[in-house]
Amino acid sequence: MCRIRVVIWKATLQIYKFDISRKRIVKPNILLPLNQHKNLPEYQGLSVPLWFQYQKQGKDVEKVKQRLAEIANYVDKFYRALNIRVALVGLEVWSDSDKCPVTQDPFTTLHEFLDWRKLKLLPQRPHDNAQLISGVYFQGTTIGMAPIMSMCTAEQSGGIVMDHSDNPLGAAVTLAHELGHNFGMNHDTPERGCGCRVTADRGGCIMTPSTGYPFPTVFSSCSKKDLLVSLEKGVGMCLFNMPEVKVLYGGQKCGNGYVEEGEECDCGDLEECMNPCCNASTCTLKGNAVCAHGQCCEDCQLKPAGTPCRESSNSCDLPEFCTGSDPHCPANVYLHDGHACHSVDGHCYNGICQTHEQQCITLWGQGAKPAPGICFERVNSAGDPYGNCGKDSKGSFAKCEERDAKCGKIQCQGGANRPVIGTNAVSIETNIPLQEGGRILCRGTHVYLGDDMPDPGLVLTGTKCGENMMCLNRQCQNVSVFGVHECSAKCSGRGVCNNKKNCHCEAHWAPPFCDKAGFGGSVDSGPMRLADSESVKVGIVVAFLCLLCVGMIVCIKRKTLAGLFISNKKNTIEKLRPNSPGHTFSTNQTHAGTHTHSACRASPQCQAPAISQSASIYKVCVCMCLFVSDFV
């Protein structure tokens, strides 16, 4: 017996949707930490070849990093055909001990790794998916394992991969395969009739149930369809965020297709660049170009604020709009966890509306529906492979408490005669007698999708299990744990709370609290609507009227001041003129008239009309200006 000290290699990548034709990011951001684990088994027979494989790297961490960088480059190449890019942004070596238990049992290893990721890795470094690359030989024929349709979830967005070949292409294909399961891709089985442009003797396609040599390097038509369906359902909500790519692993390089620190744009090398806004040799903008990449960049200029750049993909997603100051569409936002789904009887979780009905349709096809509650209660109270609430810490099947029954194995009625997913599906039918007589048929499943996929027959996390209740960790819990009601309360009844805990306001109300007039949206999504061109015209006219009013006021006041000056001057002259007896009547008459005029000027009653006119004009102008402020 021998044990060799564990060495774990960890690579960090970012994956994002990429529009190859325009060389611009369209659905970005999936952060992908990987761990490579070279642990020897507890029997001497396999210790030598694995040790030699490690020796081949000369115990040189840099060579290990180069190997992982090569694996990442292969995966990037595979996914480009699906408009997805993979970018290696960092590497980390664990040289002391495992950070999570890694054994030959792939189910246990996957469970432990995903738990470690959620509890340890996510809080330290937010990311969207994690893959463990291990040197341990798993039991049976398994060389990798990953939950299906789990991309971006906190609990299950990840997988495990065995580094089974001296050629890094082998691990790269397995990694791409398991990542495909996270995306929602199923195996390319014969009954699916998948189109693969590479024959089996030349490797076939990546999602083939079992792979050999030569290794596959392309995706089938089924994989592309599965990916599209998953994205439409809301899987991978985190993929729409712009990745933080400042400097890629290996150093900054103009021409790699990634806009790194110090670059204004990057459209690839000179041969592949077709972007009219970007200088491929210098990674700078051309001429009067303001932007070169992004959904909010058109003809090298920014699109106006309020231009839609990403529509909502499902009943739990929210749309995004251009801000007018950034060429990229704002990061994807969706309804707060626990929020009621729009038009669907369910709750939102990670941007998806999970329901028992949708799961039954996935397993049994159209016409399937959830079985009555008594089916969940009776079957899942058994605590066996066919009815349970998952496994406990000892690896044994756990019985469901009555309140948690709808969070165990899914129970359905109707649909096809056998499950429509997988090739080795076991139909589990249970007849339950009713007190009033008769029986009720409950249909459960145990679906074997291959050595690399856990049984999907368990109710998905986030599924509604009661009024204001949701399945979390195989327990039926109140959605209040997410604080969704407190968050929504601050939106003044004119908006909803998004996953950033900010209000997404209705079209005519302004964030952050939807309590003032505005253009809708949120501080995260951008304004929902464009400023009306007529509003701008009216605003200009009103502004002109305001200026005209101010000019009139100034003009009136100037005339008034001029009148005062002339009148005062006349009074002074009259006072200085000598009182001649021959002109007493005339002088007194003039003086009296002048005195009367002076008295009238000094009297508030006489001046009231002039002041009132100025005041009324001033009030009208103020009202108009306030109107412009509110309107614009």
- Alpha carbon 187 to its chain centroid, in Å, reads 27
Active site residue 178: yes
* 328 annotated ligand binder: no
CB contact set of 583 (below 8 Å; sequence gap of 6+): none
547 C-beta neighbours (distance < 10 Å), count: 11
Kindly report the three-state secondary structure assignment for every residue of 443-473: EEEEEECCCCCCCCCECCCCCEEECCEEEEC
Could you say which DSSP state residue 407 is in? G
* 187 annotated ligand binder: yes
User: What's the Cα-to-Cα distance from 268 to each of 245, 347, 364, rounded to whole Å?
Assistant: 15, 43, 46
Amino acid at 405: A
Examine residue 214 and say whether the peptide bond preceding it is cis (omega within 30 degrees of 0). yes
Rounded to whole angstroms, the Cα distance separating 76 from 84 reads 8
77 C-beta neighbours (distance < 10 Å), count: 14
Cα dihedral 88/94/95/98 (nearest 10) = -140
Are residues 465 and 407 in contact, defined by beta-carbon separation less than 8 angstroms? yes
Handedness of CA 201, 204, 210, 215 (dihedral sign): positive
Dihedral-angle region of residue 433 (phi above 0 means left; psi in -120 to 50 means alpha; beta otherwise): beta
Rounded to whole angstroms, the Cα distance separating 278 from 292 reads 6
Rounded to whole angstroms, the Cα distance separating 534 from 541 reads 11
Cα dihedral 131/134/139/142 (nearest 10) = 50
∠ CA(571), CA(573), CA(576), 5° rounding? 110
For 247, phi and psi rounded to 5 degrees?
-140, 125
* 177 annotated ligand binder: yes
Q: Spot the catalytic one: 178, 264, 320, 377.
A: 178
Q: Is 114 helix (H, G, I), strand (E, B) or coil?
A: helix
Rounded to whole angstroms, the Cα distance separating 352 from 358 reads 11
Could you say which DSSP state residue 482 is in? G
Q: Is 631 helix (H, G, I), strand (E, B) or coil?
A: helix
Helices (H), 428-503: 484-489
User: What residues form the annotated binding site for Zn(2+)?
Assistant: 177, 181, 187
User: What residues form the annotated binding site?
Assistant: 177, 181, 187
Residues forming the active site: 178
